[in-house]
Structure 1
C-alpha cells in the first residue's frame, strides 16, 4: 500500500531565522495582518494588555540582562520552571535572541524530577517563579548550579531575597549595549536547537527531545495553513481570525501549549489571554470576561464542561472554536460537547513532543472532527504490521510518520502508537495517559519495587471518566509480609501500607 499524505503543501519555511525572529519580527507572506487595536498578550486576572512594541522592548532588555549579568550566550541552556505567566513567552524569546536554548519544565515537578531535567539538559541558568523558589533552589543545588544563577519571575520589580528578578532585568537591560540578535546562516535553523522539552516517550523514564528552530517554525506554519479554508478568501470566514482571543489555560511548558496557545495564536493575529493556573470556575469566568473565541483544551477539561451543572450559569456564547488534544476524546463526550456548543467548530488533533506537536488536525471542510483528523501538510504516514509490512486502509498497526518537524532533520519517526488511516490513533499500552500527561508504567513499577513489601508488580492503564486513564498496579507481596495471614484471604491493609509507604 502507498504512504498516506495530503495534497496540501506548505509555503516557504525559513531556515535562517530563530523562533524569536519569526514570531516577533518576520513578515512571512502567510501571516495575516493583525488589527492595530488587538493586543498580543493579556493577563487574565488584571486585564493588563501588552502590545508588540512592549514585547519587543522587554525581550531586548531581558536578553541584554541575561548576557551581561549571567553571561548567557549561544547554545547555553536556560531552564524555565514556572506556571503560565505573561513574562513566560518573553523569557523564551529573550533566550532565543541570544541563540541560546530553552528547556521548559513542569512546575509541579519534584526536586528529583527538576534535578533530572537540569542534568539531562546541562542547564546553566534557572528562571523560576517565586512560588517555586524552594524547589528550584533544592534542584539547582543537587544539579550543581549556584544559587546566584536562579532568576526569579515575580510580580513586583526589583530583587527578591537577594536574587535578581526578570522584571528587574527588563527594566535595567538598557544599561548595557543592545544584543542585536544575529541572523542565522542559510540552513542553520535546521541544526540549531531552540527547545529541549521533556517527554516520557513511549517507555522508560522521561527523555529530552531536541527541537530545532526550523522544526518549531514549520509546525506553526503547518497548523496555520491546515486551518485555513481555501474555499473562503475572507479572514472573517476562517477558523483562526485576526483579532480573535484565545484563553491560554494549557501549560506553557507542554508542547501543546508552547506551540498552539502561544505561537500559532500570535502568528494568526490573535490575542493570548494568559491564565496563571487552571481552575474550572476561573475558566468559565474568564470566557465571559474576555469574550473568548477559542478554547484549546485537554479531555479532563472537556469532562468538566460537559458534566458540571454550574456551566449553565455562565455566558459561553462567544466561543466559536474548540480544539481538544493530548489524549483521545470519547464519542460520548464529543456528542455532549456539541450539544453544549451547538454553533461552535469542534475537533481533535493528534501529535507528540517528538514531532514538535501536531501530526494531524480536523479538516476545515468539516465543522466537527471526531477522530485524530487529517494529516498536516507535508506529513507522510505509514501504518505498519508487526512483520514490517504496510497496513491497508482502516487496518490497525503501528504508526510511523515523516515530517519537517521531527527534531533537526526529516526522518521516519517510530511513534509507538497504534492507529489506522481513517480511524483513531491510540498510544500503545506501554504508556498511560492521565489527564493528558504521559505516565510510564515502568517508572511506577520501579518505584513500587523499591518497597520492602513488594516482590513483583505490573502496572496497567484503567479507563476512568475524568482522567481518561489511571494507573492500576497488580502487586505480588513479599512472602515476609504475609506471615500469619491465611491463604486466599484479602489483605487490604498490605495494599494501604504499600500505597502510603511509596507516597511517603
Structure 2
C-alpha cells in the first residue's frame, strides 16, 4: 500500500488555524496576539498566577518585568544565549515560568527535572542535556548541589528560587533586580520564517515506547501549535457563546497542580490555560486536602488531573467537607481513566464536564481532548481528535486499519517534536516521515473519539487472548475495599501469562487485615470474586497481593516494572502462589 493510500483519520474542526513559525514562545504569548485569543487578552484578569502556599498574586505586568530582568542577568552574568541549556530542578513555583521564558528570551533551552530525582538521576539529565546553569527549589538544594558538583556546574551558576537560611547562593529575585537595574544587554532571537519549527525550546525527558529516559527536542513551534490546536478545538463548542457562557472562559481560574517539568503540565496547565486568559493557582507540593481547600477558596473552575488524583476525589472521606461546585471542567490525562471512575467523579461533580485527553511528550502533548458537547465523555474514551491531528492504525499483522479497527496509534500533527537528542537509533524507531509511532494500542470511532486499550508492551497475553491491565484496574477500583491497584502479568507455564493484582486497601480495611489474617483472606477472595463475577474467565486474577502504596511516576503512570519485579521475587521465593482460573472455577 502506498503512503497516499494508507487510511488516515483526521481531527475535528477543519484545517488548523494559522500557526506562526517565526517567533519564540514568549514572543508569541507576550509580544503579539493571535486571532484565537484576542478575546482572552481583552477580558482576562490582571492576575496571571496565585501562589497557593502564600496567597501571593502575580500580575501579567510583573511577569513580564521579571522575565526581562532575569533574561538580562542571564546574559550579563554568564553570557547565556543561543542553544545554551538551563536546568530547573524543583516543583512548581511562581517563578518557574519566569526562568523558562527568560531563557527563551536570550535564545536558550530549558530542561525541567523531577524534584524526586536522586543525585545520580539528576546527573544523567544534566549531562544528557548539557546544562550549564542550575535553578533549584530550596527543598531540592542538597541533591541539586551534589549533582552540580558531579557535573562540573560551578557554584556561582546555581540559583535558588527562594532564599535558604545560611545559604549564599543567588536567588531568582536577586537576578531579576540585577537585570532590571542595568541597560538591556542581550539581543533577542529574531527567527526567520520556518525557523521556529527547528529551534529547540525545551528538552523534556521521556522513556518513549521503550528504554531509558531520552531528551525529547521540543521546538518553539510545537508548543505554540498545540495551544492553537486546543483553543481551536475549544471554539468548536465555545465560539457561538458570550464569554461568560464559554467552557474555556477568559477570567476563569485553573489549578496548576501538574508539574511543569512534565509535558502535560508545561503545555496544557501553563501555556494553554494562559492562552485562554485564565489565572493559574500554582501548587508547589501536592496535598489532596489542600487542593480541596484551594478549589473552595479560589472558586477554581478547571481541574487538570491524573488518574490517581481522580481516585482520591472519588474515595477520600474529606471530599464531603468542601464546596467543589465551582468546578466546570475536569480533564484527566497521562494515563487511562476507567469508565467506573468517570461515572463516580461525575456524580461527585454533578455540574461539571468530565472528560479525558491523550498525548505524549513526543507529540508535544495533546492529540485528543474531552468531548465538549457532552457533560460526561464517552465511557472509556480518551476524548476527540483535535484540529490538525491525523491518526493511522497499524494492525498487529502489519497492515493498516481504519475507523473502528484496533492497532498501534501512529500520529501526525503540527506539534510533533523533532526527535531524541543525540539518539538517532531511538529517533528512527519512533519518528518516521513526520509520524510518531506511539507504542499505544487503540482505535478511533466514527465520531473521531479515541480509545486507548493499553500500552502494547503492557498487554497481558493469556492463552493467546489479550488482557488490558487498565480494564481490570478500572473494574477493581469499583470494589469498596480497594483504594488503588496495579495489574501486571504473572508468568505461567500453562497460560503463558496471567493477570495478577497488587492492591492498596482503604485505611479502615487495612487495619482490619493487619489485625486478623482471616480477614485478609476474606478480602482477597472478595476481590477475586469481584472480577470473576463480571469478566470472562481468561481475565480472572491469578492472585492478589496487598501493598501499602501503588508505585507511580510523577505524571501518575503506574510503575508496572517495579511490581513485576516484586512478583517475580515472590514467586521464586515461594511467598506468592498463583491460582489458575480453571482451578478457581471449581471452587
Place the TM-score, normalised by the shorter chain, in its bin.
0.7 to 0.9
Deviations 1:3-48 (A, max 9, x none): 1013422221011111111122221111123436441111112221
Output the CA distance in 2 between the equivalents of 1:474 and 1:189. 43
What value does the CA root-mean-square deviation take over the aligned residues?
A: 2.8
Q: Indicate conservation of the 8 Å contact 2:45/2:278, yes or no.
A: no
Q: Which residue of 2 aligns with 1:404?
A: 414
Alpha carbons of 1:474 and 1:146: their partners in 2 closer, same or farther (altered >3 Å)? closer
2:198 aligned with 1:191: yes
Partner SS state of residue 420, structure 1: strand
Q: Indicate conservation of the 8 Å contact 1:459/1:474, yes or no.
A: no
The TM-score normalised by the length of structure 1 is 0.86
Q: Which residue of 2 aligns with 1:168?
A: 174
2:221 aligned with 1:209: no
Alpha carbons of 1:36 and 1:426: their partners in 2 closer, same or farther (altered >3 Å)? closer
Partner SS state of residue 473, structure 1: helix
The structural deviation recorded for 1:201 is: 1.3
Given candidates 561, 564, 579, the residue that maps to 1:473 is: 564
Q: Indicate conservation of the 8 Å contact 1:460/1:473, yes or no.
A: no
Q: Indicate conservation of the 8 Å contact 1:227/1:363, yes or no.
A: no
Output the CA distance in 2 between the equivalents of 1:204 and 1:219. 26
Deviations 1:450-476 (A, max 9, x none): xxxxxxxx9998565776745323579
Q: Which residue of 1 aligns with 2:405?
A: 395
Deviations 1:332-354 (A, max 9, x none): 10010110011101100001000
The structural deviation recorded for 1:155 is: 5.2
The structural deviation recorded for 1:231 is: 6.0
The structural deviation recorded for 1:162 is: 2.6
Q: Indicate conservation of the 8 Å contact 1:77/1:100, yes or no.
A: yes
Deviations 1:135-163 (A, max 9, x none): 1111122222222221111158xx97232
The structural deviation recorded for 1:2 is: 2.3
Partner SS state of residue 417, structure 1: strand
Given candidates 30, 34, 38, the residue that maps to 1:28 is: 34
Q: Indicate conservation of the 8 Å contact 2:441/2:456, yes or no.
A: no
Output the CA distance in 2 between the equivalents of 1:398 and 1:476. 28
Output the CA distance in 2 between the equivalents of 1:184 and 1:461. 53
Deviations 1:302-331 (A, max 9, x none): 010101121111011111111000000011
Q: Which residue of 1 aligns with 2:9?
A: 4
Output the CA distance in 2 between the equivalents of 1:59 and 1:459. 54
Given candidates 381, 390, 398, the residue that maps to 1:380 is: 390
Q: Indicate conservation of the 8 Å contact 2:355/2:376, yes or no.
A: yes
The structural deviation recorded for 1:102 is: 0.4
Alpha carbons of 1:273 and 1:7: their partners in 2 closer, same or farther (altered >3 Å)? closer
Output the CA distance in 1 between the equivalents of 2:47 and 2:117. 32
Alpha carbons of 1:474 and 1:262: their partners in 2 closer, same or farther (altered >3 Å)? closer
Between 1:25-34 and 1:295-304, the stretch displaced more is: 25-34
The structural deviation recorded for 1:225 is: 1.1
Alpha carbons of 1:271 and 1:459: their partners in 2 closer, same or farther (altered >3 Å)? farther
Q: Indicate conservation of the 8 Å contact 1:216/1:259, yes or no.
A: yes
Output the CA distance in 1 between the equivalents of 2:50 and 2:453. 35
Output the CA distance in 1 between the equivalents of 2:320 and 2:34. 42
Q: Which residue of 2 aligns with 1:455?
A: none
Output the CA distance in 1 between the equivalents of 2:111 and 2:10. 32
The structural deviation recorded for 1:282 is: 0.4
Between 1 and 2, higher relative CO (CA 8 Å, sep ≥ 6) is seen in: 1
Output the CA distance in 1 between the equivalents of 2:276 and 2:221. 18
Output the CA distance in 2 between the equivalents of 1:431 and 1:56. 45
Given candidates 326, 330, 350, the residue that maps to 1:322 is: 330
Q: Which residue of 2 aligns with 1:278?
A: 286
Q: Which residue of 2 aligns with 1:451?
A: none
Q: Indicate conservation of the 8 Å contact 2:17/2:229, yes or no.
A: no
2:312 aligned with 1:221: no
Q: Which residue of 2 aligns with 1:484?
A: none
Output the CA distance in 2 between the equivalents of 1:249 and 1:314. 18
Given candidates 15, 24, 43, the residue that maps to 1:18 is: 24
Q: Indicate conservation of the 8 Å contact 1:384/1:390, yes or no.
A: yes
Deviations 1:174-232 (A, max 9, x none): 23321352321111101100000011212111111000000110011111111121662
2:452 aligned with 1:425: yes
Q: How many residues align?
A: 462
Unpaired runs of 5+ residues, structure 2, are 1-5, 420-432, 460-468, 474-485, 489-496, 505-549, 577-587
Alpha carbons of 1:143 and 1:430: their partners in 2 closer, same or farther (altered >3 Å)? farther
The structural deviation recorded for 1:129 is: 0.9
Q: Which residue of 2 aligns with 1:200?
A: 207
Matches for 1:333-372 after TM superposition, within 5 Å: 333-369=341-377, 370=379, 371-372=381-382
The TM-score normalised by the length of structure 2 is 0.74
2:135 aligned with 1:127: yes
